[in-house]
Amino acid sequence: MIEVWAPYATRVRLRRPDLPDADLTATGDDGWWRSPVALADGDEYGFVLGEADQLRPDPRSRRQPAGVHGPSAHVDPASFAWTDAQWHGRPLAGGLIYELHIGTFTPEGTLDAAIGRLDHLVDLGVTHVELLPVNAFNGTHNWGYDGVLWYAVHEPYGGPAAYRRFVDAAHGRGLAVIQDVVYNHLGPSGNYLPEFGPYLRDGHRNTWGDSVNLDERAVRDYIVDNALMWLGDFHVDGLRLDAVHALHESGDQPQHILAELAERVDALSAHLGRPLTLIAESDLNDPVMILPRTAGGYGLTAQWSDDWHHAVHVALTGETAGYYADFAELVALPKVWTGGFFHDGTRSSFRGRDHGIPLPPEVPSWQLITFAQDHDQIGNRAAGDRLSATLSYDRLAIAAVLTLTAPGTPMLFMGEEWGASTPWQFFTSHPEPELAAATANGRKAEFARMGWDGSLVPDPNDPATFERSKLDWDEVDAGDHARLLDLHRRLAALRRERPELTDPRHGQRGAAAAEAPGGRRFELDRGAARVLVNLSAEPWHVAARPGEEVWIATAEPGRVGGTWVIPPDAALVTGPPR
C-alpha cells in the first residue's frame, strides 16, 4: 500500500522508473491519497502533484539514494537481520552520554566507520551514544539541523542500512543510542512538504525559518510517527528533541505536542519492554518539561542544562561576554550545583527580563543533562574553538572533574575526553551560491550580539571548514591527551563505583565559593563525598574530614596535619575510604 498526505493536491500520481504513472485515490476528505501498489525493497519512486510533471520525494521516505531532490527508495524493515534480541535497554539514571557527529567523528565520516570507534567509548565508560541529526539534507555535509526529509537517513553516512548496523553494533557492546531529532523547522533546500499540505504555519517564524504547523493533526502525526519509527523500526533507545522552545501551537490542542509525544513513547516503552528516553533541549529553565503529566508536566525524561555549562565555562575561562555575563557572579556555580538552574526567576541581563522557574527539590538530579562542552557551545563560537584551544591541561582536568562528579547526567562532546586540538566549526555544503552566501553573512551578524570578532568566522561553505572539524585520532595516545583520557576513564569508573556521585537527592548537596588571590575556590558536596576546586593562584589549605581520603586528584595534594594543601589550578575528589 502506498499512501501520502497531500491535501493541497487535486491529483497525485505514483511515478516509478520504466513504468507508466499510476494515479492514487483520495480516500476521504482528510487529505490522504492511497494506492494498492506494493513496492519491493530498493524500488525507487516518487509523487507527481496536480498537473505538473516534477517528481517529488515521499514526505515519509526512508531513503534518498540520489539526495533530497531525487526519487525515494522503498526500505523493507524486514530486510535487516537484527542481532540485539537480548538487548533490554539502559535507563538514563546513572548514565554517561557521549555526543558525536557522524561526519566528523572519523576521517571517513560514515556510520560504518563510527562502529570501529565504539570500543573506545566502552573503555571510556560511556553508556549512551547521542548522534547529531542524521536525517536527509541537501548537500554532502552539515551539522544536520537543515534536514528536509525526517524519515530518511542521510545517504553519504550510509543510509538506513548502515544506521541499523550502527545501532545493532552499539547494543552488542552495551551502549544505548540516542538520536537528535529536529521537529521545530525544516531546512531551506529541498523542502517540498509545503507543496503537499500545510506543514508550516503561515506568517509564523522562529530563529531558523517557518514554524512547523502543530495545529494540524496530520502534521502532529508526522512528528509522532517519526519518533516512533526511530524507537521502533530502528531500535533506538532515546531521542534528543532540538530547541523545544521553538515548537509553537495555538493552545487549542488537547495536549501539548511534547506531552502527546511522551505519552505515546511511554506506551511503546511498555510494549517493547525496554526504557525509552526523551530529552528536551530547552533553555526555558521550566521544570514543566520533566514533571510528570499527572502533575501538569509534559513527562519527558530529562532536559539539557545550559546554566550548568555557562557557570562552568565562566569559572574556567573568565569569559563574561554576552549570555555569560550573569554567570560571573561568585554564586553561579554553587547555585547550579545545588539547585539545577541559575536563572530560576532571576533577572537575565542577556534577555533583558526575568527568566526561569525554580526546579522543585523532588526532581531527581539525573533529569538534568550537564556538560562543560557540546556541539552548540563550541560550534557557535566565532572560531569553533574548544576549551582545549585556550585552557591549560590543569584546567581541562578540572573541567573533567566537574563534569563527571556534578549532580545530573554528564555528557561529553566527541574528543573532549582527550582534549582534542581540532576545532568544531559551523559547516555547510549548500549547492546554491545564494544560500551559501546568506548563511555566511548571517553567521557574522550573529556574533555581533555576543561581542565576538566577526572576522574570525570561517566560511561555513568552504570545504576546509568541514575538514578542520574532523577529529584527529592520532592524538589520543600522545602526551597530555593521553593523561586527560586516563583521567576521564578513572572519573567515569569512580562515578560507577561510588553511589554518592549518582545520588539523585538535592538534599545530599551543598556548595560554597570564595574569592582568592588570582581566582576562586569551590567546595562542592556530594553527600559523604566532596569536590574541592582551586582556581586561584595560590595553594589552598582545606580542613580534612575525619577518615577522609583522596579518591582522585588532578595534581598531587599536600597534607599538613589535618589539612589538605591543594595546588593552584587543581581539583580533589575526596570521600570515605573506598
On the question of pLDDT at 450 being above 70, the answer is no
Q: Which are the contacts of 97, defined by CB distance < 8 A and separation ≥ 6?
A: 126, 127, 128, 129, 130, 178, 369, 409, 410, 411, 412
Q: What is the pLDDT of residues 106-144, one digit of tens each?
A: 999 999 999 999 999 999 999 999 999 999 999 999 999
Q: What pLDDT score does 264 carry?
A: 98
Q: What pLDDT score does 252 carry?
A: 81
Residue 59: how many other CB atoms lie within 10 Å: 21
Q: What is the pLDDT of residues 389-403, one digit of tens each?
A: 999 999 999 999 999
CA distance 126 to 115: 14
CB 537 within 8 A of CB 503: no
Is 120 marked as binding a ligand? Answer: no
How is the chain split into domains, by residue range? 2-56, 426-461, 509-575
Strands 346-348, 353-355: pairing kind = antiparallel
Q: What pLDDT score does 204 carry?
A: 66
Question: What's the pLDDT band for 507 if we cut at 50, 70, 90?
Answer: low
Active site residues: 242, 281
Is 245 marked as binding a ligand? Answer: yes
CA distance 395 to 519: 12
Q: What pLDDT score does 314 carry?
A: 98
Which of 140, 158, 189, 451 shows the shortest CA–CA distance to 322?
451
Kindly report the CATH class assigned to 509-575. mainly beta
Q: What pLDDT score does 484 carry?
A: 98
Is 242 marked as binding a ligand? Answer: yes
Is 355 marked as binding a ligand? Answer: no
Q: What pLDDT score does 7 carry?
A: 97
Longest CA pairwise span in the chain (Å): 89
CA distance 302 to 279: 5
Is 69 marked as binding a ligand? Answer: no
On the question of pLDDT at 209 being above 80, the answer is no
Mean pLDDT of 304-310: 97
Is 114 marked as binding a ligand? Answer: no
Sheet holding 511-516, edge to edge: 511-516, 519-526, 529-535, 570-575, 549-553
Question: What's the pLDDT band for 205 if we cut at 50, 70, 90?
Answer: low
On the question of pLDDT at 448 being above 70, the answer is no
C-alpha cell at 380: 557557535
Let me know if 153 is exposed, middle or buried by CB neighbors in 10 A (0-12, 13-18, 19+).
buried
Is 273 marked as binding a ligand? Answer: no
Is 244 marked as binding a ligand? Answer: yes
CA–chain centroid gap for 547, Å, is: 40
Q: Tell me the DSSP string of 382-409.
A: TT---GGGTS-HHHHHHHHHHHHHSSSE
